[in-house]
A and B are shown apart, each in its own frame.
Chain A
């Protein structure tokens, strides 16, 4: 089971420039959370602060009972072993081939035999679809492969927390979709806490259990996906709808005259699109952290936009969910029967 990350009143500035201030949020253990925000709002800085690569000016980051920014160096390195981090370009060591890159944490931190290391590394490489590329150097492979290799390296020590910096930057839509599916499958397998920083709306709509958004040096909102996907907050709506009209401008924020001109032209932030059903693990199992579709909306008296929770096959997941969970539980308890795929007709 993953570890909870509790951030309290975090503030960071470089010189006179405040990046963000008073950010408080709790990333629930074992769930997938996505942090959104326009370019340049300090999402990556936030991620780096969470692993102690950057020291915040104020505030606390609680990983379990340890307050990360104030840990002595030795404890900090120990705590970091809970983390797996996937950097934007994979951050592979240029002087080592892929196998050595992925084996690196194992060789450094464990006393495993070379044959066992080989087994683990090949297993992870298989998981990210890189078998056969063991002897390639990072300079010889594409950006997508680097990312997947970086992911494999982040996973070898079975992290409790996985931080991912823009998994979709520079990837084609198909690879992005596959990578997204991989995140969901991984979460189902290892139950780690995931925090993904991105500005890809499709990723944000379909993967996470929770969504947060950084804008203008503040955390606008952080909460269950249904809360943000049905939110009336203009910034959130403009961003999730990818509209030109709205408070977010090209450089920073728009001024009043620009906003008035927009409303005269009839541009607006757009109506809420339907909430898509969340991606399911490809082996059909139910993730431990997954919430029932529509549960948050029902509990808070929010009516989701028309057409929400309906998948490509026309099934309404609010109705489908209890049956699906029951079917998976029966399948899991019957020995020898593999849980069914959501696209199949077994259940």
Chain B
């Protein structure tokens, strides 16, 4: 939202030379990317947070959106998780065999899959499949003026559309994370035992030696955070789509790229904090 007074200097100095005009265009673009867009995004995040506590909660929308997200993510998630677990086993298994610690392959699976891979795979799917679809939906409503109509009818679109979507995203991300963990571990186990001549006993024993409950909890926390982020970015981009159908396409594209970047940064920060605060289990 523009604030009153911003346009006060309009008209003055509008006709500059070519060079300074290009420079101004560049600096405008830079401020936009560095300051204005993040500022507007955080403003929307705060407004959404406030709208969360408004009664009544849109249960119907929440359930519909959750179901929608499940329908677009579950199968791709599993199909990504199986080879992911396999590849990890192949790579790390090979390395570990060279070090002569073959019996610890199961432990690597904990570290790699439960702690890191499953939240990341979840995030890719939530951002790529659910976020893009959500952004396209909201963006299409925006350019058809449905969002404007909603506001004019006295209904806050943040409360009505964004809050249930963000919750749905976060809620489903929790389950997806569990799914990826299980499917990934099964994939890793199958690869290790069947293709790399590992023994089931060693795999499970080392897994148990290494795994602890906080591993799963931090992964679930990450997944929740990623879900919220993906939902917020998708909603923000959708609500700010402009310029017809192409604008919606651009918004979807930006949603996916921005969400990926944010999720990887968030993942790094939460992992760092986790290692700082939760000691690894001794063996």
**Are the C-beta atoms of B7 and A48 separated by less than 8 Å?**
no
Chain A residue at minimum C-beta to C-beta distance from B6: A57
List chain A positions with a Cβ less than 8 A from chain B.
11-13, 15-16, 18, 21, 48, 51, 53, 55-58, 69-70, 73, 77-78, 80-81, 83, 85, 87-89, 91-94, 104-105, 108-109, 150, 153
**Are the C-beta atoms of A57 and B2 separated by less than 8 Å?**
yes
**Are the C-beta atoms of A85 and B146 separated by less than 8 Å?**
no
Query: Is B279 an interface residue when CB atoms closer than 8 A count as contact?
Result: no
**Assembled-state Cα–Cα distance A56/B156 (Å):** 20
* Chain A residues with CB below 8 A from B144, complex form: 89, 91, 94
Query: Is B266 an interface residue when CB atoms closer than 8 A count as contact?
Result: no
**Are the C-beta atoms of B152 and A80 separated by less than 8 Å?**
yes
* Chain B residues with CB below 8 A from A87, complex form: 145, 148-149
* Chain A residues with CB below 8 A from B150, complex form: 93
> B24-78: which residues lie under 8 A (CB-CB) from chain A?
28
Q: Given A77-B154, A108-B153, A108-B154, A18–B11 Cβ distance below 8 Å?
A: yes
**Assembled-state Cα–Cα distance A21/B7 (Å):** 10
User: Which of B6, B149, B156 makes the CB contact (< 8 A) with A91?
Assistant: B149
* Chain B residues with CB below 8 A from A51, complex form: 151-152
**Are the C-beta atoms of A91 and B145 separated by less than 8 Å?**
yes
| Nearest-Cβ distance from residue A268 to partner chain B, whole angstroms | 32
**Are the C-beta atoms of B154 and A91 separated by less than 8 Å?**
no
User: Which of A16, A85, A93, A105 makes the CB contact (< 8 A) with B10?
Assistant: A16
Q: Given A77-B156, A80-B152, A11–B7 Cβ distance below 8 Å?
A: yes
Q: Given A16-B10, A57-B7, A58-B8, A94–B152 Cβ distance below 8 Å?
A: no
User: Which of A13, A16, A21, A53 makes the CB contact (< 8 A) with B152?
Assistant: A53
**Are the C-beta atoms of B4 and A56 separated by less than 8 Å?**
yes
**Are the C-beta atoms of B156 and A58 separated by less than 8 Å?**
no
**Are the C-beta atoms of B4 and A89 separated by less than 8 Å?**
no
* Chain A residues with CB below 8 A from B141, complex form: 93-94
Chain A residue at minimum C-beta to C-beta distance from B150: A93
**Are the C-beta atoms of B4 and A80 separated by less than 8 Å?**
no
**Are the C-beta atoms of A13 and B7 separated by less than 8 Å?**
yes
Q: Given A51-B152, A78-B154, A57–B8 Cβ distance below 8 Å?
A: yes
**Are the C-beta atoms of A89 and B7 separated by less than 8 Å?**
no
List chain B positions with a Cβ less than 8 A from chain A.
1-8, 10-11, 14, 28, 140-141, 144-146, 148-156
Chain A residue at minimum C-beta to C-beta distance from B28: A15
Number of A-B pairs whose CB atoms are under 8 Å? 81
**Assembled-state Cα–Cα distance A13/B5 (Å):** 11
28 contacts between A and B (CB under 8 A): A13-B10, A15-B28, A18-B7, A18-B10, A48-B148, A51-B151, A51-B152, A53-B148, A55-B2, A55-B3, A57-B4, A57-B5, A57-B6, A57-B7, A57-B8, A58-B5, A77-B154, A77-B155, A78-B154, A80-B151, A85-B152, A91-B144, A92-B146, A92-B149, A93-B150, A94-B144, A108-B153, A109-B154
**Are the C-beta atoms of B148 and A16 separated by less than 8 Å?**
no
* Chain A residues with CB below 8 A from B151, complex form: 51, 53, 77, 80
Known: A53-B148, A85-B149. 10 other contacts (CB 8 A): A15-B28, A51-B151, A57-B7, A80-B152, A81-B154, A93-B150, A94-B141, A104-B153, A105-B153, A108-B153
**Are the C-beta atoms of A94 and B153 separated by less than 8 Å?**
no
Chain A residue at minimum C-beta to C-beta distance from B24: A16
* Chain A residues with CB below 8 A from B156, complex form: 73, 77
**Assembled-state Cα–Cα distance A93/B138 (Å):** 12
| Nearest-Cβ distance from residue A162 to partner chain B, whole angstroms | 11
Q: Given A13-B10, A16-B10, A55–B4 Cβ distance below 8 Å?
A: yes
| Nearest-Cβ distance from residue B270 to partner chain A, whole angstroms | 33
* Chain A residues with CB below 8 A from B10, complex form: 11, 13, 16, 18, 21, 57
Chain B residue at minimum C-beta to C-beta distance from A82: B154
Q: Pick from A16, A81, A85, A93 the residue with the most CB of B within 10 Å.
A: A16
**Assembled-state Cα–Cα distance A201/B226 (Å):** 54
**Assembled-state Cα–Cα distance A51/B149 (Å):** 10
* Chain B residues with CB below 8 A from A48, complex form: 148
* Chain A residues with CB below 8 A from B140, complex form: 94
| Nearest-Cβ distance from residue B223 to partner chain A, whole angstroms | 28
Q: Given A11-B7, A57-B8, A81-B154, A91–B146 Cβ distance below 8 Å?
A: yes
| Nearest-Cβ distance from residue B12 to partner chain A, whole angstroms | 10
**Assembled-state Cα–Cα distance A104/B152 (Å):** 12
**Assembled-state Cα–Cα distance A16/B25 (Å):** 11
**Are the C-beta atoms of B1 and A55 separated by less than 8 Å?**
yes
**Assembled-state Cα–Cα distance A87/B28 (Å):** 32
* Chain A residues with CB below 8 A from B4, complex form: 55-58, 69-70
**Are the C-beta atoms of B7 and A58 separated by less than 8 Å?**
yes
